[in-house]
Structure 1
Amino acid sequence: MTSHTTVPSVPPVSSLGRVVRGAGPGLLLAHGAGGGIDPNYGPLMDGLAAHHTVVGPDFPGTGRTPRATSPLSLDGLADALVATAVEEGLETFAVSGYSLGGPVAVRAATRHPDRVTALVLTASFAAPNPRLRLAVRLWRDLLDSGDAGRLAAFGLLVGMGAPTLDGLGADDVDAALRGAAAGVPAGTADHLDLIDAVDVRDDLPRLTVPTLVVSTTQDSLVTPALHRELADAIPGARLTGLASGHLPFAERPAEWLEIILGFLAAAGRVPAGAAGRGLAP
C-alpha cells in the first residue's frame, strides 16, 4: 500500500465526455468497469438531476470518451473526473462511485479534499480480494476470446443477484444476453487492468467527509465482505444494505436512488464523521 499526497485544487484539463444535468448542489458520478454513465446511472439520472447539478464523465473507452492510448492510472482518472466537474462550474461536489468508481471517488477525495464534500460508495472495494481478481481474470479471458455470448452469460451470472436472475423467464434471459453482448465498451480491458492495480486502503483513514457505503447484499462479484471492509476503515462511515446483486441500476434503481438522495440531503446537515455506522436491511 502507498500513500498519496494532496494535489493542487485546480486539476488539469479533462478530455472526458460527460453528461451534465439538473440544478442544485454538485454531484459527480464515477461509474464501473466496462460500464458508462448511461448504463450505470441512466435509470437514476432524472431523480438525481431533480435535486443536484449532476456531472457524469465517461471513463476512457466508454460512452462519449475515446479509448485511452496509454494505461489508466487511479490518480490520473480521479484528477480527470474532478477536472470535468470543475470545468462544468462546480467548485465543490459530492461524489457517487459505483464498483470501480468507488476507489476512483476515494482517490478524488484524498487528492482534492477542498473539492469533495461527501462520498457514496456502492458495490465497491478498497483493493481486490482473490475472488474478485479471479473473476477479473476470467472476464478478461472471455473478452479476449471474442465470444460475446459467453461473455454476456458470465456478466449475468456474476452481475445479477440470484433472486433476480432466478425470477427471469427464458425470453427475458435471452433478451438480457443479447443486450449484454451488444454493449461491451472498447475500454473494458483497460478498466480491468486498473482493477488489478487498485489499492486505496491507505487513503481510507484520511477521509474526513460524510461517507455512505452501500452494500449490495446479493453481490457475487464484489462481495459484501469487501463493502464492510471499506466502511470499517473510513472514519465515521455509514454502511447500509441494498437487496441487489452487482447491478443495482437494473435490479433496484428506485431504492438505490432513494438511498443516495437521502444520504446526500442529510450529509449537508451533519458534520463529517458524526453520522455513525449502521446496517439497514
Structure 2
Amino acid sequence: MEKFVQVGPINVAYAVEGSGPAVLLIHGTGGSYEGTWGNLGKALAPDFTVITPNYSGSGKTQDDRERLELDDLVEQNVQAVMQEGFTHFHVVGYSLGAVVATAIAAKYPERVQSVTAIAGWVESDLAVAYQFDLWQKLFRQDRELFAQFAIHTGFSPAFYSSFQTLEQLHEFTANLAATLAEGTGKQAELDTRINLRPLLGKVTAPALAIGLTYDRMVPVEQTREMAALLPDARYHEIASGHLVLWEQEAELIETVLSFVRSTR
C-alpha cells in the first residue's frame, strides 16, 4: 500500500512491505520504487521491513521547485522511515540513490546500521557533469531518444544477446521511455553537482560498495574510489553494465541480502 509523508513542501510517496528491522531502498535518477525494487524488496521482506520512497520528481512525489538539493532527498527518505516508527535502519541505494544513501549514513551515523552503495560515485568531475548535462538535454528533447541513449550506455555488450532484431530493441526502448520519472531532468541536474568528499569520513556504519565492471555511466573506478574512502567498507564487483537490476539482478540480490543480513 502506498503511503505519504510531508517533508517541507513535498508530499513524499512511499511503500512498505515485510516485517522486522527496517531497510530503506533508494532508487536512481529517472526511476521509481515501482520500477526498481520489486524483486529485491520481495527477497528482503521475509526478514525486514522494506521501505521504498519515491523522492522528488518520481512517481506521485511531485516537486515544482526549479532545483533539487542532495539534502532534500536525504530528508525525504529519512522521514519516510521515521514515520514508520524506526529510529535505526539499513540503507541500500542505487546510482544517485547510492549517493543519497551514503549522505544519509554521514548525516545520521547514530541511526544507520549499514549502507550499501550500488554504482555510486564520490564527486561529479567534469566528465560526469558533461554526461548528466547531456541527459537533461535529451530528456527535454525526446524521451525515447533519452531512453535509447541510456540503454546504449547502460548495458554490457553481453546483454544484447537476449535480442534478435533492432525492432525488439526499439520496443524495449519505448517501454523504458514510458516509465521515466517526470523529474528525470531535475534529478540529472543534481547529478552534475555531487560532492561527497566532505561527508565520507563521517560514515561510521559498515558499508558495501558494489561496482559494475562494464559501467559506462558511473565508471567502476569511481565506485572503487568510494569503497577506498569510506572508513569501514568492503567492495564487490559484478560483471554488468550500469543497469544491473535488469542485467545481473540475481547476483545483485544475493550480494545485498548477504551483506544486510550480516550486519543486522
- TM-score normalised by the chain length of structure 2: 0.92
Partner amino acid, structure 1, of 2:32: G
> What's the secondary structure of 1:15's corresponding residue?
strand
Q: Superposition pairs for residues 28-177 of structure 1, below 5 Å? A: 28-145=24-141, 147-170=142-165, 171-177=167-173
CA–CA distance in structure 1, aligned partners of residues 152 and 39 of structure 2: 21
Contact 1:58–1:64 (8 Å) recurs in 2: yes
Give the C-alpha shift of residue 15 in structure 1. Answer: 2.5
Contact 2:55–2:76 (8 Å) recurs in 1: no
Partner amino acid, structure 1, of 2:89: F
Match of 1:192 among 188, 192, 195: 188
Partner amino acid, structure 1, of 2:153: V
CA–CA distance in structure 2, aligned partners of residues 131 and 42 of structure 1: 32
Contact 1:95–1:116 (8 Å) recurs in 2: yes
Report sequence identity in percent. Answer: 30
- The residue aligned with 1:17 is 13
Partner amino acid, structure 1, of 2:132: V
> What's the secondary structure of 1:55's corresponding residue?
strand
What are the Cα deviations for residues 210-231 of structure 1, in whole angstroms up to 9, with x where unaligned? 1000111111100101101100
CA–CA distance in structure 1, aligned partners of residues 197 and 160 of structure 2: 33
Contact 2:128–2:192 (8 Å) recurs in 1: no
CA–CA distance in structure 1, aligned partners of residues 18 and 195 of structure 2: 33
Which structure has the highest strand share of the two? 2
> What's the secondary structure of 2:235's corresponding residue?
strand
Distance of aligned partners of 1:166 and 1:138 in 2 relative to their CA distance in 1, 3 Å threshold? farther
> What's the secondary structure of 1:17's corresponding residue?
strand
Partner amino acid, structure 2, of 1:222: V
- The residue aligned with 1:225 is 221
Partner amino acid, structure 1, of 2:133: R
CA–CA distance in structure 2, aligned partners of residues 118 and 195 of structure 1: 23
Partner amino acid, structure 2, of 1:150: L
For structure 1, the 5+ residue unaligned runs are 1-10, 269-281
- The residue aligned with 1:275 is none
- The residue aligned with 2:3 is none
Contact 1:74–1:104 (8 Å) recurs in 2: yes
Give the C-alpha shift of residue 236 in structure 1. Answer: 2.3
Give the C-alpha shift of residue 91 in structure 1. Answer: 1.6
CA–CA distance in structure 2, aligned partners of residues 68 and 149 of structure 1: 23
Contact 1:102–1:122 (8 Å) recurs in 2: yes
- The residue aligned with 1:3 is none
Distance of aligned partners of 1:225 and 1:192 in 2 relative to their CA distance in 1, 3 Å threshold? same
Between Structure 1 and Structure 2, how many residues are aligned? 257
> What's the secondary structure of 1:128's corresponding residue?
coil
- TM-score normalised by the chain length of structure 1: 0.86
For structure 2, the 5+ residue unaligned runs are 1-5
Match of 1:243 among 214, 234, 239: 239
CA–CA distance in structure 2, aligned partners of residues 241 and 51 of structure 1: 25
RMSD (CA atoms): 1.7
CA–CA distance in structure 2, aligned partners of residues 246 and 216 of structure 1: 6
Contact 1:43–1:249 (8 Å) recurs in 2: no
Contact 2:35–2:179 (8 Å) recurs in 1: no
Partner amino acid, structure 1, of 2:189: D
